[in-house]
Amino acid sequence: MIRRTALALAVLLLAPLPALHAAGATGPVVPKPSPADTTPYLIGAQMCPLWNSPKAWKPITLCPERKPVLGWYDESNPEVTDWQVKYALEHGISFFLVCWYRAKDNVGQQPIRARYEHWITEGLFKSRQQDKFKFCIMWENANSAAAGIASEADLLNNLLPYWIDTFFKKPGYLVVDGKPVLAVYNVDKFVKQLGGEAKAAVAVKRMEAACRAAGFKGLTFMGQHCWGNPIPPTTQMKKIGLSHSFAYHWPSFMGRAYMPAGTSPDTGRVMAGQEKCWQTMATQAIPNIVTVSMGWDSTPWGGATSKVRWRLTPDQFKTLCAQAKRVVDQRRSTELEGRMILIDNWNEYGEGHYVFPCQEYGFGYLDAIRRVFAPNAGPHVDVAPAGVKPGPYDVKGLF
């Protein structure tokens, strides 16, 4: 069912914005961000860069409560990125973990060709705020529209050098303790494409060596788990030398022990299920990065990925963020697992998990993050651009 809710935005409207800025334009268009300090926590948001075409946005328009405050925007526009960076920093999010896709027909070949790379190369790299914000990539190697690798040689001679030169060496790439942060979505597929755990372990060591040769202290290589078996395959991750596990989403895919059956589960049980996921992962073979999820409802995509549908309110999400903070504090670790928290998700409107300001709850989710992780940040006013209906940022050809 399509829900039609009133616009709930606590915003200060600005005068209509000037025309979209081009390279070489002078003077600020988007107000400069005032970052919220979350020390000692490193808060990131997982980010899915799909939103630069009418084809992507068309299904989302059937759910008007999901319309962003920037309209049905083209995220390859660097001015859109300026707004995103402003919103993220002012609410305590200092980096995005961005889904990165290799073109399906590019396996084993040079030069590397990517899909959905526009947010990084066209948006962030041309943004006025690029020096203020960090990003890292999650290699989405399991998607049917993307690709993995043909061999170790393909990984070490083609893919990794591309990542190092295009991303890792950029000033805005997330480097922690001298090591660039890289994530892979499907660890099992990565292992199989390298010929097994032993060969994968050798490849990971060689990746680390290549990063040291490029001037880094090594590589922080994380593996994702959220689908299928409630007991995560972190033993395999440890065998091949990954440093941390994390989840793209909790807890909708972890079975009935973590998530109640049915299409409209009780939100209290959802929150308890997430905490159970965090506690379970904390006992596994390698350290885990906590992921905090606000919902799941893939109705715009036809509901094909899950029959489970749920969404926390901003107040419930605030409570869940506070629970995540306590869990991380209890680890009493100065390593990454004791500092980093991932927000699920910045902008996955199709799957129904997003904290970006939209029609239904406005800045509610972002304000919840700010209140929990930057409690001393002081008064704050959320700002949205005027004139976004249809707005200066809408993708061409949608209407």
Give pLDDT tens digits for 174-201: 999 999 999 999 999 999 999 999 999 9
Whole-number pLDDT of residue 384:
83
Rounded distance between C-alpha atoms, residue 37 and residue 35, angstroms:
6
Tell me the helix, strand and coil percentages in the chain, rounded to 5.
Answer: 35, 15, 50
State the pLDDT at residue 399: 75
Residue 13 CA neighbour count, 13 Å, CB half = 7
Considering all CA atoms of the chain, what is the largest pairwise distance in Å, rounded to the nearest integer?
A: 60
Asked if 356 contacts 87 with a C-beta cutoff of 8 angstroms, the reply is yes
- Number of other CB atoms surrounding residue 394 within 10 Å: 18
pLDDT at residue 268, as a whole number:
85
Percent of the chain with pLDDT over 90: 71
| Residue 349: half-sphere exposure toward Cβ, Cα within 13 Å | 25
Q: What is the pLDDT of residue 1?
A: 31
Instruction: Quote the CA–CA distance of 399 and 268 in Å, as a whole number.
Output: 39
Yes or no: domain 12-16+32-384 corresponds to CATH 3.40.50.2000:
no
Report pLDDT for 305: 65
pLDDT over threshold 60, residue 389: no
Q: Identify each DSSP E strand in 267-309 by its residue range.
A: 290-293, 295-296
CA–CA separation, 180 and 222 (whole Å): 11
Q: What is the pLDDT of residue 328?
A: 96
- Across all residues in the chain, what is the average pLDDT? 87
**Contact between residue 194 and residue 245 where contact means Cβ atoms under 8 Å apart:** no
* Predicted confidence (pLDDT) per residue in 57-73, tens digit: 999 999 999 999 999 99
pLDDT in tens, 95-106: 999 999 999 999
143 pLDDT band, cuts 50/70/90, is: confident
Whether 37 and 80 have beta carbons less than 8 Å apart is answered as no
Rg (CA), the chain: 20
Domain residue limits, the chain: 12-16+32-384
Q: What is the pLDDT of residue 265?
A: 65
Left if phi > 0, otherwise alpha if psi is -120 to 50, otherwise beta: which for 26? beta
pLDDT at residue number 269: 85
**230, 257 Cβ separation under 8 angstroms:** yes
138 in helix, strand or coil? strand
Confidence of residue 52 (pLDDT cuts 50, 70, 90): very high
Collapsing DSSP to helix, strand or coil, 167 comes out as helix
pLDDT band with cut points at 50, 70 and 90 for residue 230: low
Q: For residues 326 and 277, which has the higher predicted lDDT (pLDDT)? A: 326
Across the range 330-355, mean pLDDT stands at 96
* Structure-token pair, residue 369: 């993050």
DSSP-based three-state secondary structure for 112: coil
What lies within 8 Å, CB to CB, of 384 at 6+ separation is 9, 11, 12, 13, 14, 69, 70, 357
pLDDT band at 222 (very low <50, low <70, confident <90, very high): very high
Each residue of 15-42: b (16+ CB within 10 Å) or e? eebeeebeeeeeeebbeebebbebeebb
Give tens-digit pLDDT for 76-122: 999 999 999 999 999 999 999 999 999 999 999 999 999 999 999 99
Q: Which residues contact 261 (CB under 8 A, 6 or more apart)?
A: none
